[in-house]
Homo-oligomer: A and B are copies of this chain.
Amino acid sequence: MDDKPANGRSGWKQNPAGVQKNILAVAMTEFAANGLSGARMDEIAAKTNTSKRMIYYYFGDKVGLYGRVLEEAYRQVRTGEQELELDHLSPVEALKLLAEFTFDHHSRHPDFIRIVMIENIHQGVYLEQSELIRLLNAGAIQKLEAICRRGREAGIFRDDVAPIELHWHISAMSFFNVSNRATFSRIFGNELFGAEGQNSLKNHLVEMIVALALKPDRRSRR
């Protein structure tokens, strides 16, 4: 019937980077969908192009794999953020664009949101163990610091609103929009999650953030 050797092992290429990338991609989906405890190593293995043995070969154990997935999730979104160019805009326009971008960016990366939710359930203990994530996040707030500095130098931004607070507010609304969509929509309906609803929320977010940053006498009453 078949004349290939008893084992089907001939004719493969070595590709460590590709194998790891494939495992990480599958694992991220599985962890995002089921959590750390809920994800199944056998299930992850089955969905990769490789075998369970290779997961343990490269990542040690389940927690090791989860840690790498966490790093990879942060790496992906932070990298995407860095491409945003704001220096050529006025402080207000830059702030608007940053808020809008963050809202959309989070919306485009639901798996990242879910991984962060899961990590928060675990009190952030795995995040803390990662040097890489601390480095990645160090730069996450620099754009906002630059905007605030410019806004203050121009005399139009308040002094008593810190960049970290603006970041907190922007993150809260952008994150919640994805993280709590399931329960919110099941309780209150879907109207906020269609195209118009999302646009309205985003516009309000921008409006609120700008109003918060500006000195009262600089706020337009448009």
Contact = CB atoms under 8 A, between A and B. Distances in A.
A198 to B, nearest CB: 11
Q: How many copies does the complex hold?
A: 2
Interface in A102-127: 114, 116-124, 127
A82 interface: no
A182 B124 contact: yes
Nearest to A166: B204
Interface in A163-222: 164-165, 167-169, 171-173, 175-177, 179-188, 191-192, 200-201, 204-205, 207-208, 211-212, 216-217, 219-222
A175 to B, nearest CB: 6
Contacts of A207: 212
A21 interface: no
Contact of A192 (B118, B168, B173): B168
B117 A121 contact: yes
A120 B208 contact: no
A63 B22 CA distance: 33
A80 interface: no
Main secondary structure of the interface of A (DSSP, over half): helix
A90 B172 CA distance: 28
A67 interface: no
Nearest to A128: B186
A123 B165 contact: no
A183 B201 CA distance: 25
A137 interface: yes
A73 to B, nearest CB: 11
Interface of A: 34-38, 114, 116-124, 127-128, 133-134, 137, 140-141, 161, 164-165, 167-169, 171-173, 175-177, 179-188, 191-192, 200-201, 204-205, 207-208, 211-212, 216-217, 219-222
Q: Which 4 pairs between the two chains have the least Cβ-Cβ distance?
A: A37-B38, A124-B182, A172-B176, A216-B221
